[in-house]
Every structure is written in C-alpha cells, then in structure tokens.
C-alpha cells in the first residue's frame, strides 16, 4: 500500500476503479480504454504535486483513458487557488453513503488498503449497526476509522450521540450477569475469551459520554482501566456516567496489579500471567469480587437476619494491605479493613506526612488506587519527598549532581513509574465535592490535613465545621467502601497534661468519636541507628491498640526500611 497521503484527484480516480490493487508506490488495475485480459494493465501513481499519473502498458493514450473514466484531464490535477483578497467559501463536503457495511468497508480499503482488524457493533437484536476498522502503522502506531448505519444508509462516520455499546446483543441476552468495561474492542474481546461479559464504547477514551450506557442501568459493572492517563480518565468518566443512570449501576473501578505504563488486559494475560488464561481469569474474578464487596454497604437498610445469612460474618473482613510492616502489623487483621477511618495526630516535626507518604506508596505498590488530598503541600513537593524516601536520601539531595545521588534517584524514578499512575493528587482547595470524587475512584484516600478541609458554607467554623466534615467522611467511607487516612493537628496538651484521646486532636470531639482508629505521635526518641517516632494507638474499634513505630535513619532523615522477623 502506498505510504503517500491520498490527494483529492487520486481519491476521485480510485473511487472509479474499485478493483484497483496497491502495487509499490501506486495501484494497478485493468485499463478501461481497451479492457484487455490483464487485470494489471493500467498503472496509477500520484505525483509530488498531487496530480494523477496514468500509464497503460498496452499503449492506450492518456486522453482516451481519462475519457473512459468519465473525467476531464483537469480533474487529475489539484486545483490552483487564485490570489484572493477575501476568504473563499469552501463548498460543502458531500457525505458519501453506502447501502451496506461491506460497501463501506471496501471504500476504506481503496484508500487505506486491507485492514488489520475489524469489529462489528450490533444492536440488542444482533443486527449490525457499526464497524470499527484498524490499520497497524509503522512504529507501533494505529489508524482507526468508523463506519456506521445512520438512518438506512452506512456512512464513514459516527452518530453524534447515543452510540451503541460494543457487544450489546450479548449484554441483552444475559441481563443479570456482571459486566466488565474495557477501553477498546481488543480489550473487550480479550475479556470475552476469558469467559467474561464485556463491552466498551466506540471512538476511544475521549468519547465515552457520546455512548448510550442505559443498557447497564441497575447492573453490576466492573471497569478495568488501562495503565495510563487516558485509561484512568476513561474509567473515571464511565464510572460517573454509570452512577448517573436511573437506576444507577453498581459500578466500581478495579485496577489490575503489576501492569506497567501503557499496558492493559492483553498484557495482564500474556506478561503478568505468562499466557495462562485460567490464572488470569481467576485473578480478574477475584479482583472484581473484591472491588464490588463494599457495594453491599450501599444498601440503605439491612436487617440482622440478612447479616446472619452472610457467610462472611465470622470470617476475616475484607482488608487492604499496605505492604509496609510497621503499619500493617499494628492493624487488627494485619491490614486495614475497608471503610476504616483512621487519624494520625501529631505536631510539626513528627514525620506525619512522611509516614502517610510511605503508606501511600505501599498501597500503590500493592496495586491499590490512592487519592491524596493535598491541602497542605504542593503535589510536586510531595513527589520529591517520596522519591527521597525511595532513594533513602536526605531531601536536599534531590538537587545534587553527585553521581551516587543521581544513580539512586534514577533508580527510584524507574521503580515509581511502575505504580505512579495509581496515585492521584487533588490540589487545594479540598471540599466536600473533592472528597466525594476521591472516595468514588480510590480505595484509599489521604487527607492532609483535616483542619484545612473546606465546608460548603464559608461561615462554618470550629466545632460545627469539623463535626460536619467528619460526618461527611463517615458517610463516604460506608457508602463507597474507601479507607480514609487523615492527618490532624494535635490538640493542646493542657499544661503538661498526659496525652489522651480527649486531647489527641485539635477541634471537635466528633473526631475521636467518629474515627475507627486514632493515633497520636510521641516526641521523636533517639536510638542507636537513628530516631524512632511512635504513633501511640489511643483508639481501635477491633483488636489490640498497637502502636505504629516509624524508624528514621540518622544519616538521611528518611524513613528506614527495617526487616522484621
């Protein structure tokens, strides 16, 4: 197939010889002037200026060939634009339409050659309503074009809105099954091969809102985002559209672990699971079940009789591990339970933010999505601090040209790139709307810090403000199943009074009443290898009140990574 872009005269000629085949830098077809036995007697090439060059290998004259095509010789040249003092109005482009999907696809083949992939969109009854064609290009790129039935004809375009979902006929045939949403037809097909009911919307990640998602109203839906920015944006947009349906879908986003930037379900099967379809199927099924489990909490009412029938009643509750042992070993189930609200109270200089950053990194490394509500610090500053932690260097080393420092930061950046897409920062101001969005898309929400959260009513102050903020966080944790880890200013010590739950945090007593776990930092104590900061547990709804011990390296001032037996 020629690599040159098609000029208007060339497109005009090719539309008149539908049997033309790509050949080197042009096309070959039967000469219409003598209509001989050879199907390749006429060469059609495009000049540098866009003109069409015709050569009959049987000796036919150029003018004869042009006449047989029903054209004038001037039709084979790009129009010459005369100089004008006023803009020339372009004529309206004629919309080409076709009687069938096959004719529409063949029209693309004339200018693009044979496609590499083709997907058919069908309505609920199984009738074709759209095509998506893909050509793989050099350098790993792709060219994707649509053809859609609009009215009773097929056009090389898409409807403006209410576009049909992929595999709609399969969705209609199994109305109670769990549905997976992927980004793109290739990924939806991969899920179907694994045995799942899967769909997507046409025309890429930026056009989700133009699709008709109503067939998923009230259904259980799991969105599996690609591991890149567009994948996350697509998942967020689809989630919002599904939750806005009437009735809303029971929809969640489930992030596939161990993917690197740009990968999707195909790599999850081929690379992460070595092509083992059974292992990938089990992993996706468990991932979906885990993500959907908190949805049970969204039911407005539930009786004890229903709870007694739940087989999970006397089993370990659903938890999320951070992978950081000082934190996980202090939790009742050696990992934090979903929907938990945990507060870390500390004065400045007690490594509160450093501890939360270490937790955020740990959760993301385990494949969990994290939202950081950065009301106190710029996201770029948080990123620099996390890189220093990972490189085990002092914060001043971030700008160092020392080869050892440069090497350690390069290694830290490489490691961080494997999960950086799972950590999202929300800049100030942080209000109720931002908290709601974070709880809807992330499994763990960090609020840094509580006293800086904005109330919808600007005149709300003091205890009234904090009571409503905590009440809103409590509602979100139950409704969405998100874990909230909240930094709080420490309360006043009352003139040397021993620190207890009543003066652990500054502000309303609703903080200690509402949270599930409350920790308060002690003054950093020197040790033989550095410094130890202990977050004493003042409240734990279930299990022992164990402290979180944060070791600080004396050379770098960063959190030390300690091996535990």
Query: pLDDT-based confidence at 312, cuts 50/70/90?
Result: low
Confidence of residue 83 (pLDDT cuts 50, 70, 90): very low
* Distance of alpha carbon 415 from alpha carbon 407, whole angstroms: 13
- DSSP for 139-179, please give it: GG-EEEEEEEEETTEEESS--SS-BPPTTHHHHHH-TTS-E
| Cβ–Cβ under 8 Å, residues 222 and 256 | no
Considering only residues 466 and 84, tell me which one the structure prediction assigns the higher pLDDT.
466
Strands of 403-529 (E only): list them: 423-427, 444-448, 483-489, 517-521, 525-526
| Most confident residue range from 163-167, 491-495, 561-565 | 163-167
Q: What's residue 93's pLDDT? A: 54
535 has a pLDDT exceeding 70: yes
Instruction: Compute the distance between CA of residue 562 and CA of residue 493 in angstroms, rounded to an integer.
Output: 32
**How far apart (Å, rounded) are the C-alpha atoms in residues 351 and 344?**
10
CA 255, 259, 261, 266 dihedral sign is: negative
**497: confidence class by pLDDT, cuts 50, 70, 90:** low
Question: Percentage of the chain surpassing pLDDT 90?
Answer: 50
Q: Pull the structure tokens for residue 107.
A: 């029209």
pLDDT given for residue 295 in this prediction: 45
The pLDDT score that the predictor gives to residue 91 is 55
* Range in 310-319, 374-383, 469-478, 541-550 the model is least confident about: 310-319
Q: pLDDT at residue 153 above 90? A: yes
Phi, psi of 361 (to 5 degrees): -60, -45
- Given a cut of 90, is residue 140 above it in pLDDT? no
Given a contact cutoff of 8 angstroms between Cβ atoms, the answer to whether 192 and 180 are in contact is no
CATH topology for 162-315 is Dna Topoisomerase Vi A Subunit; Chain: A, domain 2 (3.40.1360)
What share of the chain in percent tops pLDDT 70?
93
pLDDT tens sequence across 333-373: 999 999 999 999 998 889 999 999 999 999 999 989 999 99
Q: Is the pLDDT of residue 306 over 50?
A: yes
In whole numbers, what is the pLDDT of the chain averaged over residues? 87
Residue 388 has pLDDT above 90, yes or no: yes
**Which pLDDT score is estimated for 300?**
55
**531 touches 524 (CB < 8 A):** yes
Q: Which two tokens stand for residue 435?
A: 């908290």
- In DSSP terms, 55 is beta-bridged to 43
Please, what is the end-to-end C-alpha distance for the chain in angstroms? Answer: 64
Mean pLDDT for 463-479 is 90
3-state secondary structure of 181: strand
Query: Within its chain, how far is the Cα of 294 from the centroid?
Result: 20
Which residue has better confidence, 375 or 223? 223
Rounded to whole angstroms, how far apart are CA atoms 158 and 161? 8
Secondary structure (3-state) at 336: strand
Q: Give the pLDDT band of residue 2 (cuts 50, 70, 90).
A: very low
pTM of the complete model: 0.53
Range with the largest mean pLDDT of 1-15, 87-101, 350-364: 350-364
How far apart, in whole angstroms, are the C-alpha atoms of residue 75 and residue 496? 94
pLDDT, residue 496, reads 54
Q: Averaged over 56-75, what is the pLDDT?
A: 84
| Class in CATH terms, 319-553 | alpha beta
Stretch 261-287: mean pLDDT: 93
pLDDT value of residue 3: 42
Checking 141-150 for CB contacts under 8 A at 24+ apart, the result is 143/112, 144/204, 145/108, 145/112, 146/202, 146/203, 147/98, 147/101, 147/104, 147/105, 147/108, 148/121, 149/101, 150/97
On the question of pLDDT at 201 being above 60, the answer is yes
Fill in the DSSP letter of residue 270.
I
Q: Is 505 exposed, middle or buried (0-12, 13-18, 19+ CB in 10 A)?
A: buried
Rounded CA separation 363/388 (Å): 18
Give the range among 121-130, 402-411, 465-474, 551-560 with minimum mean pLDDT.
551-560
């Amino acid at each position: 197939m020629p690599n040159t872009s098609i000029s208007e005269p060339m497109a005009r000629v090719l539309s008149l010889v539908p049997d033309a085949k790509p050949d080197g830098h042009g096309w070959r077809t039967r000469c219409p002037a003598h209509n001989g036995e050879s199907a390749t007697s006429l060469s059609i090439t495009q000049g540098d200026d866009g003109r069409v060059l015709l050569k009959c290998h049987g000796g036919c004259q150029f003018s004869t060939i042009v006449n047989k095509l029903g054209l004038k010789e001037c039709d084979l040249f790009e129009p010459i634009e005369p100089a004008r003092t006023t803009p020339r109005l372009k004529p309206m482009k004629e919309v080409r339409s076709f009687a069938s999907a096959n004719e529409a696809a063949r029209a693309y083949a004339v200018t693009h050659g044979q496609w590499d992939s083709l997907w058919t969109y069908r309505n609920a009854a199984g009738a074709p309503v759209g095509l998506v064609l893909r050509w793989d290009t050099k350098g790993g790129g792709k060219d994707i074009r649509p053809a859609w039935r609009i009215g009773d004809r097929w056009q090389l375009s898409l409807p403006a809105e209410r576009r049909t979902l992929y595999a709609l006929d399969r969705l209609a045939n199994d109305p109670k099954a769990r549905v997976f949403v992927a980004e793109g037809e290739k990924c939806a097909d991969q899920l179907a091969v694994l045995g799942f009911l899967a769909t997507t919307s046409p025309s890429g990640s930026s056009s989700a809102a133009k699709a008709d998602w109503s067939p998923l109203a009230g259904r259980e839906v799991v969105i599996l985002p690609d591991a890149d920015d567009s994948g996350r944006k697509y998942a967020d947009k689809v989630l919002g559209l599904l939750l806005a349906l009437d009735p809303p879908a029971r929809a969640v986003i489930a992030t596939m672990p161990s993917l690197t930037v740009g990968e999707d379900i195909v790599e999850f099967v081929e690379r992460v699971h070595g092509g083992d379809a059974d292992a990938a199927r089990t992993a996706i099924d468990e991932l979906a079940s885990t993500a959907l489990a908190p949805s049970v909490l969204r039911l407005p009412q539930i009786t004890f009789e229903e709870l007694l029938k739940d087989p999970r009643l006397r089993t370990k509750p659903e938890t999320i591990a951070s992978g950081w042992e000082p934190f996980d070993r202090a939790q009742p189930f050696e990992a934090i339970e979903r929907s938990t609200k945990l507060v870390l109270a500390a004065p400045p200089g007690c490594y509160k933010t450093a501890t939360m950053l270490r937790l955020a990194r740990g959760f993301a490394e385990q494949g969990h999505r994290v939202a950081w509500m950065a009301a106190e610090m710029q996201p770029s500053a948080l990123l620099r601090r996390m890189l220093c932690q990972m490189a085990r260097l002092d914060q001043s080393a971030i700008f160092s040209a020392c080869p050892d420092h440069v090497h350690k930061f390069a290694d830290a950046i490489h490691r961080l790139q494997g999960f950086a897409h799972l950590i999202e920062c929300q800049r100030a101001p942080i209000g109720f709307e931002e908290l709601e969005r974070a709880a809807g898309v992330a499994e763990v929400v960090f609020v840094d810090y509580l006293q800086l959260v904005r109330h919808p009513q600007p005149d709300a102050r003091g205890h009234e403000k904090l009571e409503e903020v905590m009440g809103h966080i409590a509602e979100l944790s139950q409704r969405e199943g998100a874990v909230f880890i909240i930094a709080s200013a420490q309360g006043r010590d009352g003139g040397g009074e021993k620190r207890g739950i009543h003066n652990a945090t500054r502000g309303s007593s609703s903080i200690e009443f509402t949270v599930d776990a409350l920790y308060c930092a002690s003054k950093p104590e020197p040790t033989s290898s550095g410094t130890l900061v202990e977050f004493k547990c003042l409240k734990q709804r279930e299990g022992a009140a164990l402290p979180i011990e944060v070791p600080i390296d004396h050379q770098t001032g960063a959190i030390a990574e300690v091996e535990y037996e």
